[in-house]
Structure 1
Amino acid sequence: MKSTRFQLDELAQLVQGESIGQSTLTLKGLASLGQAQSDQIAFVNGDKYLAEALASKAGALIVTEALKNQLSDQHHNFIVVKNPYLAFAILTHIFEAKVLKRGIESTAQIDPSAIISDTAYIGHYVVIGENCVVGEDSIIQSHVKIDDGVEIGRHCFIDSHVTITGYSKLADRVRIHANTVIGGEGFGFAPYQGKWNRIAQLGSVRIGNDVRIGSNCSVDRGALDDTILEDGVIIDNLVQIAHNVHIGANTAIAAKSGIAGSTTIGKNCILAGGVGVVGHITITDNVTITGMSMVSKSISEAGSYSSGTGQFETNHWKRTVVRLRQLADVPLTKLVKQIDHMQTQIESIESTLKSRK
C-alpha cells in the first residue's frame, strides 16, 4: 500500500486546529498512545489518559489546550483542538486506504438498461439487473448482486457479497458491508387452518444519506409500505430490521439487535447490543435502550430504559430465581393485603409510642 504522509501543520488545518511545535514534522499515520512511534500521531481523550500520554513515543499528540499545558514538559508537538476524539475521527479518513479504481471489471454482468456512472467502480463478478442506477464515485466490490430496479446514489460503498433487491433506493454516501442483504423478503404469513400462508412483500426499502450498515445484517422490504432508514442511521453487524420498520435520523443500533415488523423508532436513539424490540410499537426520539433489553411496549418519553436483571454470581442467581418463582406463585391481592396489614400495624405502634410521650 502506498504510504501517505502529512506535515503536522497540514493535519492541523484539516481538523481546524492549531499546530504547536515542529510544524514541518512528517507523520505517516495514526496510532494508539501505547503503540505510537515518532512518525505517528495519537490523541488524548481526557485526563484519565495523561499518564499514558506522558509515556507515549508519539511524534505528536492531538489535545485540548488544557491537556497540552499538562503534557508540554514531556512532549513538544501538538495539534490543539476543542474535541480530540472528533479530530481523530476526521483524520482516520485521511489515512484510510481507499479504492481508487474506476470503471467496470470484465467479469461483471450488467444489464444494458442499467445506468452506471463513468466515475463508479464495478468489481469482479458483480451482477446488476434491469433499470438499475449506480451514481458517481460509488464503489461496488466483487460478487455483489444488485437486483432489478435498485438505485444507488453517489459516493456509496457496497462491500463484497452484498445483495440489494426489492427495488431498494439508496441515497448518497451509504456504506453497506460484506454479506448484508437489503430488501429481502419480509417475514409475513397469515395463519389459517393450521397452516402459514405466505404474504407477498410488495413494499421496498428506502435508505437515506450517510447511512452505515455493518456485515451480515438483514433489512427486509415492506409488505405494503416501505422499510425506511432515515439520514445518518448507523447499524452494527448482525442486526435484523424487519419489514415496515421506520428508523429515525441519526439512530444507532449495536450488534445482534433485532427489530420486529412495523415498529417506528425515533431520531437520535441508541439501541445497545442484543436489544430486542417487539413489533407494532413506537419509540420516541432520544431514547437509549441498554444492552440485552427487551422492549415490549411503546416508549413515549425520552430517556434511558433497561430490562432484565444484572449479573450475579451463579449460586446467588439461582437463589434469586427461586425467590422470583415463589413470589410469582403468590396472588397479587394476597400481597396487597399483607402490605396493608403491615402498614396498619406500623401505624398502631407509632400511635402507641406517641401516646406514651
Structure 2
Amino acid sequence: MGDRVFNFSPGPATLPLEVLEKAGKDVVDFQDTGIGLIEMSHRSKEFMTVAADAEANLRELMNIPQNYKVLFLQGGASSQFFMIPMNLLGDKKKATYLDTGTWSNKAIKEARIFGDIDVAFSSEDSSFNRVPEDGEYTVSEDSEYLYYVSNNTIYGTQFPTAPSTSKMLVCDMSSDILSRPVDVSRYGIIFAGAQKNLGPAGVTIVIIREDLLDTTPENVPTMLRYKTHADKDSMFNTPPCFSIYVMGEVLKWLKRQGGVEAIEKHNKEKAAMLYEAIDQSDYYRGHAETASRSIMNISFNLPTPELEVKFIAEAAAIGLNGLKGHRSIGGCRASIYNAFPRNGIEKLVAFMRVFETNNPA
C-alpha cells in the first residue's frame, strides 16, 4: 500500500484509519461468519444488529429525544431538498428559507415546486461570504418551518448557533453533523449526507420528530414518505448496508475520542491554527467573514490565480491533497472534518509559510 496522504477533500472525505482497516477485513469476512459484509442479507441478525447499534450510538452521541425517529435513507442529501417540502407543505403551505450558498439555493428551487417559499435572507450578492445574524431576517408567521444549512462547504461559512425563532427548524447538517453539540429538540428535521463526517457516500441520515410523519399528503409516493421508512426501521427496501456499517464504526470511533464535546474542542483547535496562518499575512485571504467562519471548511485565496495553481500542485506533491477550491469561487479550500488529524494542519501551515517566502506576490 502506498503512503497515506493528508486528504483535505470536501467529500467524500477522510475517515479514521482504524475504521478503514476494520472495514477492509469485514468486507471479506464479517465477524468470522465466513461471509463478507457486503454479501450479507440486510435482514440477517448480524446486519440488523449493525443497524441497531449504529442508531443507538447516534442517539447517544446527539442526545436524540425518544419522540424522534432516525432513518437511514438513500438518494443523497439532495433528495431531502424535495422530500421535506413534499411531506410537510401539502396544499401549498408556506416555509421560510435562509439562502447562504449553493445547497440552500438548490433546496429553495425544489421547495418552490411544492409550497410558497419565502427567502428571508440571501448573501448571494457577496458571494455567500457570511451567514445572517439574528434580527437580519423575519420568519413569516404562517411558515411551517425555517430551513437553513448549518455549514456551507464551498464558501467556508457556518452558523455559530442555531437561528433564534419560535418556528420549527429544519436543517441540512451534511457537513458539520457531530462536529459540535446540537439541541435536537429544537428541530423538526435534521438531515445529513454521510460522506463528510459520518462515513462513505450512500446513506443519508434523517432525524425527524414523530408527529411530522402524519402530515404527508395522500398523493406522495410510498417510497418518498418518511412514515414508510419509519414504520419499517429503514428496512422497507434494501438499505445501503455498507455505508450504514462504516457509519456505525465511525460513531464508535467518535465515542472513543470522548464524544461530541471532545471532538468540538479538537475541531476548534485545528481551525484556529489554520485561520491564524491566514490572518497573520496579507498573502492569504479568507473568503468568509470572521463571524461566519466554518471550523469544517476553510476557503482562502492567494494573490493571483496563477499562484493558487502552483500552491495546489506543490502541496499535492508533498502529500497535502484535495486543496483545490470549488469552481464557483476558485482559490483553495481545506476541509478538516472530525477525522482529519491535527498533524495535517501543522504540515499545511508550515508549507504555507515556506510557499509565501519562495513565491512573493
Higher helix proportion: 2
TM-score bucket (shorter structure): under 0.3
Higher strand proportion: 1
TM value normalised by structure 2: 0.21
> Which has the bigger relative contact order, CA under 8 A and spacing at least 6?
2
TM value normalised by structure 1: 0.21
Higher Cα Rg, which structure: 1
